[in-house]
Structure 1
Amino acid sequence: MAVVPLLIFGVISYQVSNSAINSKISNSSLQVLKLVQKNIQYESDKYQKISDSLMVNKTVQDGLYRFDSWDYMQKNNFIVQMNSIISGHMSNSPQIMQIFLTDRDNNPVYSQGWFYVSQETINRMIDLCGKNINWLSVNEGNKNYIIYTHPVISERGTGVIGHTLIFIDAAAFYNCLSGVDMGTGADLMIMDSYGNNVANQNSSFRKGYSVDSVLFSYCRQNPNENIIRNYKFNDRLGMIAYSFSNRQGWLLVAAIPDAYLRAETYSIAVTSLVSIILCFLCAVIVYRQMWKSISLPINRLVQVVGKIDNTNFDQMTFYDDSRDELGFLSRAFRQILQKMQDLVNQVETEQNQKREYELKMLQAQINPHFLFNTLNSLRWTALMSRATSVSNGLAALSDLLRNTILDKNEFITVEEELKNVSNYIVIQKIRYGDIFTVTYEIDENILHSYMIKFLLQPIVENSIIHGIDEEGTQKEIHISMSRGEDTILTVISDNGKGFDVEKTLDAKKNKRLTGIGMQNVQERIRLCFGKEYLFHIESRIGEGTTVTMEFPYISTLPETPKNLTQGKEREKDDSGTVR
């Protein structure tokens, strides 16, 4: 029983560690290649910027366009000006060996540098430039160099008027590879678009010549694979990591030998084998002691634990009075179960209290919210009106205050709730006049059923405040209430200007009381009846808003604490007792 799991564990550990190490080396190699590629790109950008600056230079443009028509003095003046321009670039970039300018017929117009370049090489590079190959590694005259070719486009719109050829010492790109450690025995190299060696860390490959045509062809055909495993490169088996540079068309290759890859996994294999043998010997010794002192008591404890109900921890009857660890464990386990049972009872009590407190807080929240908006409307009335409108508003306000502050019932009839809405609309009419109208579509069979107080008013308020626009266009609010099988479906819609639902209902982003009122309605329905009842807001800016909500049909007054108290107080009033 001990040997088989240990052997399986050892084999799996070796496989996982070997895979993890290879994966880690592969990922790190690709990361290194990306960094090296950035260095190469930075180096090549310097020469591309020089070529771009020469292409847009007025002296170069005029010289290539008019060189054939100039006399000796004009050509000599052109060369003097170019010497000044090119000397500055070459002094800033010492790796530049030669800079050529040719006309549209590939004839040399200007050259500055310190070594000879054949016309055949120039013609070849210009021909490759037409094939979108601007970079090439060349070995000529026992000197390896890189040629960057760029066509010069006329600013006059006549097309290509010549070419710029920049000859760069290959050592410039070798510096991008120096100091990069890919592992013991690893090699890092750059191949151009023909598979020729541009620069590499291993001096066994001659620069300017093909390194491995098979490898180059495979990498070209599979540009996104990036990793080749078990590849024999330079007579050594190993892993190949490669990456393409789309701008130059170059291939960056890292060859990591298999000996380096397996060095760490071999050490892990030996360590795992020794650990398995030691663990097996220890397991044999420990097993004999466990059977006598641990296994049997634990089995009895497991049987008792298996009989315990998920929420009833009082069924624990097992007790071990021994003084060893298992005895201590059993006593501690019994205490934990008792504590868990106490916590379950406490949580249930706290949840019931929390629900009651949340309902109280939500009810308390809606009152100041409503009073604030009502008093604000009356303030506007006091500024604009002098008599009748104020009287009507105060009458409606008095009725509403009686229902919100004096009447402590959480539930009222649908008829009373509609009356509250009507009073609120009277107050809002004082402020807005006839700019909006309200229509009702109410099922008469639900008028005497009960619902949570002040569910409709915040939604109507939201329709008025958010629905009326600055232009004063008359808007319509429609209130529909109908009975389903066991529910009452309420739809309040308007054709106002609409609003952003998420932004308005986010209490942290929107501090306006209308957002609080809408959330209050939804939360009160959830706390009283649960999440299964519908509450949905749909609004489109410029088209209007529709609020759809659903709550259960209640034919008798629910027995909430507030309603029971209010009912007893009413019974005392009927009997003549003074409260």
Structure 2
Amino acid sequence: MKYEASITNKISASSQQILAELTQNMTRELEQYETLSETIIINKSIQGGLPKFGKMTDYEKNGLRTRLNEELAQQIFRLSNLTNVVILTNDGQTIFDLGFEWYPELQFDRLTDAVNGSPGNAYWSYMRSNRGANRIVLSRAVFSEDNLNERLGYVMILIDEKVFTRNTYGQVDLGTGSSIYIANAEGRVVSSVSPDIPHGAEFEKAEVFDRATGEHRNEAFYANVGGRKTLTVSSYLRTADWYLIGLVPHSFLVSELKDMRGNIVLLCFVTLLLSGALAMWIYFSIHSPMRSLLQYANQIRMGQLETKIGRSHPDEMGKLTETIDRMVEQLKRLIFQVESEQQAKRDAELKMLQAQINPHFLFNTLNSLKWSAMMSGNESVKMGIESLSELLRNTILVKEELIPLEAEIANLLHYATIQRIRYGDSFKLSFAMSDGELYACLVPKFILQPIVENSILHAGTEDGRRVGIRVEGIKEGMTLKLVIADDGKGFDMNDASARKSSSHAKLSGIGIGNVDERIRIHFGPTYGLKTRSAPNEGTETVITLPIVAKEERSDV
């Protein structure tokens, strides 16, 4: 019974871990559609069209629908699971519908009532089309941007349940005869791959669902399902107020136990037979193992951790060598773990620079500002916003730390466009590459901007002369040197305050000291940057990097 309880506990813990990971995957999947719904809700045509739709002529209504098709097509069709988007007025009139399927009107009435009664402005539910296809539905109310208490209508996003299931949990197997399904807060089945668990039904609600959502929430327990003793595990999906429930037959657990018992009996029998033979070899297990162990210890002392002596004798000396082998293996794992944790820490610090702003809201806002500037004829503001949008897109959405030099230069040009809005023609930026192939070399992201920013902010002369800033790429063997030089006023390298002001120049938190540290982390202490400057002689910074082509990136 102890073995049975142990196996049950392990399978239970494993199943709960699997369901927890599936819940995280589903959350990411569902958040895509909530993001799409937010984009639709704040769409200007929808905000303006919903309150006026009832008074529009047929011509105006068709024009609105055509405009919505053009504005929403890109966001809608990038999601392969999506089957329809329906937008309704408060009185149930349809202003937008992809028209791929037909749904009974009563189902939409049920969903709008549920949204109105939901504590949050998002209600996930289940619906069946006129062709019998199962759909997962996200329903949300559309509120006016000018008055958040004024509801303008509703938006409903319909997702193919079969594709959603396949992409999230359909391929997961908890064991022979097991099944997984999703139920909403009322216990109604929203998604299932098992024909024994029908969609829309309250499957074993009293025996399974009520216990899974009550005192046994996020715990494993046994229940009688279909006349069979079944291990039940569950996980709560907060985004949709759903429960992911897994059912594992007890017969599967018992079969594993029977196999293990047979193996244990066989192992015990073989061990008894070998015990007598092993005793015969104790005599030969003193001198030779001791000498091998001494040599092994010397190799470990020299740092040769790849050598493994192995257990060559079945006695105390053999056990000792085996223990040392395990200790060396553990030491190697710990070294690897420390290196991995340090790398993960560095990656996390870099990612923190890219995750401060909600990307969707930011880019939508910048796009609106760009069009506003264009409509008002302000070309410089329009170009500045466009460059800021591209610069932030590369900061937030591009996750790679190493990018082509060509992309880094493009980021620098966007940055220069933004700075010209503030500083006008006070500086001139130029580029030169000794070899056209250098543009394809991989370099750490955002290593040029802090240095150029330092020249823009601190290199200006008293006479107001325009500062020339030159970025030059030079190939020296397998080394890439990026030289950033300005003809500004320079500074005294022995002046601590001037040196501190230069080293702390930064763009979005990335300082020159940070650039040097990142280069050394990626490529070693022989690489980095050096700065030379003198009063009235300008400033020159040299970045030294190894030449890394795109195909070598996996080796960096």
For normalisation by structure 1, the TM-score amounts to: 0.43
For normalisation by structure 2, the TM-score amounts to: 0.45
Q: Looking at CA atoms only, which structure, 1 or 2, has the larger radius of gyration?
A: 1
Which structure exhibits the higher relative contact order, with contacts defined as CA atoms closer than 8 Å and separated by 6 or more residues? Answer: 1
